[in-house]
Amino acid sequence: MCGIFAYTGKQQALPILLDGLTCLEYRGYDSAGIYIPESGVVKSVGAVDNLKKKIVLPMPGNSGIAHLRWATHGEPTEENAHPHSDSSETIWIVHNGIIENYKELKEMLLTKGCTFYSSTDTEVLAKLIGYYMEEKKDFEKSVLAALNDTKGTYGMVASYKNEPNKIIAARQGAPVVIGLGNGENFVASDVSPILRHTKDVIYLLDGDVAVLTPNNHTIYNLQNISIDRKTEIIEWDIEEAKKGEYAHFMLKEIMEGAEVVENTIRGRLIVDEGIAKLGGLDAVAEQIRTKKRIIIVGCGTAYYAGLVAEYMIEEFVGMPVEVEVGSEFRYRKPIIDQDTIVLAVTQSGETADTLEAIREGKRKGALTLGIVNTVGSTISRETDAGIYNHAGPEIGVASTKAFISQLTALALLTLFLGRQRGMSSSTGKMIAEEIKKLPQKIKEILDKKEEIQKIAKKYANSRDFLFMGRKYNYAIAFEGALKLKECSYIHAEGYGAGEMKHGPLAMIDENFPTFAIVPNDSVYEKNISNIQEIRARKGKVIVLTNEDNEEIRDMSDDIFIVPKTVEMLSPILNIIPLQLFAYYFAIERGLNVDRPRNLAKSVTVE
């Protein structure tokens, strides 16, 4: 979720580093920084342009490291911005990932006299390398020793003032790629900032440590044994490189679903106790405990996430919930008082209507919370407290992974609120255990994406589509229809299955297919009845279910099976096949799924 770029060579490093950071801004950021051994370190909060304004020229040097930060440990401040240094301020590092045992390492280093200036786990790693440097007097050996003490994930690059042309990169769970040039070498989080310099790259694997100078590179494992890694030639352009192996950002982002859920729940789920630990709500936890109702505000996909949360919270917390479209909220006279929570759900944190809804809530004395994906955004600043998604930047206009993350964050919020208000330990453990299993179940769905591709190809000439669901999957029917509309520009409607007899059945014939969301849950039999109504009118039916039986196969033209989970979490699994369906449907029609016509990623005006 962060951006790393590093250079060692024959050119002046500063413009190359700044260009690399600019190229990485699509990944998202809340702060930026660079270190050049001959000139020192510069950091800033916000965009690369803010960093450029802080730089005092000249800033000479032929090597350096640079970083765009997406906060995980510590707020977005200059103190928390990367690079971070050891105690001597001669070793500096940039780092993506999470050092899971940073607390134990920090406690040990404090006993050795280390002083810490940030609240990041990265500074702990930097200080640890410096600690070993005092003993070993060798840069490479010290980095290896520190990494062997480290548990967690990292994509890391280190620079040493006394060996300015040498940089050391390492990978464990976070991507790192090396670019091989003529008398110069590069390191980055992905190939996009490297491609303007060279197309010859090496992808590090977990456990790799690479030592680079302008004319050489050597790769070791953590046991200091030299290993070979294949050099690859990148054939695509910079824009395509950002998509990795995928043809479109939308598919890439759908395929990141398991990772997104892992990032959203990381450090927040305590399964043994059946609780969610939401650090962003700590400061207002007691206020939340006294509130009597929640108003959830969102636009588009975020609004549908709120509709799912309404079922979650009312069933498991016992608080009344209202869900409002942000663009309508201010034009009513919503009843808000000091017993109310107004919760904004937004990917960008800049959606104008949602922002104004938060401001209206504040004016009327409500506690305002946010579920936001963009660190440092306006809504994240203006709400009293909140939860960051940590889903990473979403480039495709049609929201996919952000929606999955929003649903996951709302499930965590439900667990948090429920355990505050009487939810039993056993129920809490059950929910927590099922949340923990979601990434693996998402992988199982994605492994079968070709099945959805075949179904989408079969129906790609359709001009109309109906999506129907009930209860927890009521909103998923709307979201499935929205995805198809956004990507394919066809008429698609979402409906509550129980509403079929109140109008929508009039549309059904052999040319008007239905995508029915029918998990084996508390409304399974009701959904079966609705499918029979459609079949009686010669409508074709695609069934999405977790129940593979003869009855449901007999009444479906096509079927896709998802893994089972508890009812409240079923929307997180059920939306993924619908996202894939919209993607493949649009591809069959030759459309640009990443940039649908007339739509923008972040709606910052009314």
The set of catalytic residues is 2, 601
From first CA to last CA, the distance across the chain in angstroms is 29
Among positive and negative, which fits the CA dihedral 545, 548, 549, 554?
positive
Range 296-315 burial, b when 16+ CB lie within 10 A, else e: bbbbbbbbbbbbbbbbbbee
Contact 394, 401 (CB under 8 A): yes
Note if the bond before 58 is cis, omega within 30 degrees.
yes
Amino acid at 207: G
What amino acid is encoded at 237 in this protein? D
Give the pair of three-digit tokens for residue 271: 């399964």
**Phi, psi for 168 (deg, rounded to 5):** -120, 130
Cβ–Cβ under 8 Å, residues 32 and 183 = no
Which residue's entry shows tokens 């936890």? 285
**Which residues make Cβ contacts (< 8 Å) with residue 482, sequence separation at least 6?**
300, 301, 304, 492, 494
Q: Which H or E run contains 300?
A: none
454 class by beta-carbon count within 10 Å (0-12 exposed, 13-18 middle, 19+ buried):
exposed
Provide the greatest CA pair distance for the chain. 80
For the chain, the C-alpha Rg in angstroms (whole number) is 26
Taking the C-alpha atoms of residue 581 and residue 603, their distance in angstroms, rounded to an integer, is: 25
SS (H, E, C) 119-168: CCHHHHHHHHHHHHHHHHCCHHHHHHHHHHHCCECEEEEEEECCEEEEEE
Cα–Cα distance, 574 to 473 (Å, whole number): 8
What whole-number distance in Å separates Cα of residue 369 and Cα of residue 417?
13
Helices (H), 193-351: 238-241, 249-255, 257-265, 285-290, 301-316, 326-329
A 10 A CB-CB count for 117 gives 10
Distance CA(356)–CA(380), nearest Å, equals 13
